[in-house]
Amino acid sequence: MADPIHQFQIVNYFSLGKIGSVNLAFTNSALYMGIAVGIIAALMLGATAQRQLVPGRMQSIAELAYEFIADTIRNTAGEGGMKFFPLVFSLFMFILVSNMVGLIPYNFTVASHLIVTAALAVLVFLTVVIYGFWNNGVHFFKVFVPSGVPVLILPLVVMLEVFSFLIRPVSHSVRLFANMLAGHITLKVFAAFVTMVGGLGIVGWIGATLPLALTIALTALELLVAFLQAYVFTILTCIYLNDALHPGGH
């Protein structure tokens, strides 16, 4: 029986050269990132190649995605947040499409590796910190001082705020990673039950329908989780960017 962890194996396809002792290889992870970017580019460019006042099917998908993310940014970070639209939209589409591609059997899920989600989360964190200081200067520290807190407990609150600010990239990245990892392991464990029970003969075939039905139901659930986690990552990005745009506004 293939173990459920096997699907997360990184395979080197070919080497692109060496930097020090690090082998810079083109892996299956890189391939599936490329596939995700290719699908997004094809969808967006194909949808907007022949623009019409009354949108067709493809154009409707692109417009829906645009409006969905634009509304999310306007509601959480205000009108000023729209200057980060390209970043937020790219993050959402990349995570959504790579999750969806990963749900197809035999395909690799990019977000099931902590290093990928950590890179995305650190990108957001550094964007918030750098833009926050560039936009507000020293006033950015107001992020750590909530208004309307009694002076007596202020030091404690500030300490907690600093801690929760620094822990953000950890929870931001581990959330996506853990959800993808756990979901895919569960799927494969239930799929393995089908072959295990089905191997028992005629009685096993009847028994195997139960885990098979569960696998289908779990796939539907994973489809929801794939979208929900992409959206959660996006909305948290917007909320963090809101801190950089309006520090002390909470």
Partner 1 sequence: MDPMAAKYIGAGIACIGMGGAGVGVGTIFGNYLAAALRNPSAAQGQFGNLIFGFAVTEALGIFSLLIALLLLFAL
Euclidean distance between CA atoms 205 and 21, whole angstroms: 51
With CB under 8 A as the contact rule, the residue among 178, 192, 196, 214 that binds partner 1 is 178
Q: Which is nearer to partner 1, 76 or 109 (CB)?
A: 76
Q: Which residue has the tokens 């995305």?
A: 120
At 24 the three-state DSSP class reads: strand
With CB under 8 A as the contact rule, the residue among 7, 29, 72, 99 that binds partner 1 is 72
Burial of 185 (0-12, 13-18, 19+ CB in 10 A): middle
- Is 97 a binding residue for partner 1 by CB under 8 A? The answer is no
69: Cβ–Cβ under 8 A, 6 or more apart, which residues?
85, 88, 89, 92, 234
The number of residues that bind partner 1 (CB under 8 A) is 14
Q: Which is nearer to partner 1, 32 or 89 (CB)?
A: 89
Region from 36-44, 84-92, 94-102, 227-235 binding partner 1, contact rule CB under 8 A: 227-235
> Least distance to partner 1 from the beta carbon of 72, Å?
7
Closest CA to 16 of 8, 28, 24: 24
- Is 180 a binding residue for partner 1 by CB under 8 A? The answer is no
With CB under 8 A as the contact rule, the residue among 12, 60, 171, 209 that binds partner 1 is 171
126: Cβ–Cβ under 8 A, 6 or more apart, which residues?
none
- Is 189 a binding residue for partner 1 by CB under 8 A? The answer is no
- The C-alpha angle with vertex 98 and arms to 174 and 86, in degrees rounded to 5, equals 85
Q: Which chain residues interact with partner 1 by CB under 8 A?
A: 72, 75-76, 170-171, 174-175, 178, 228, 231-232, 235-236, 239
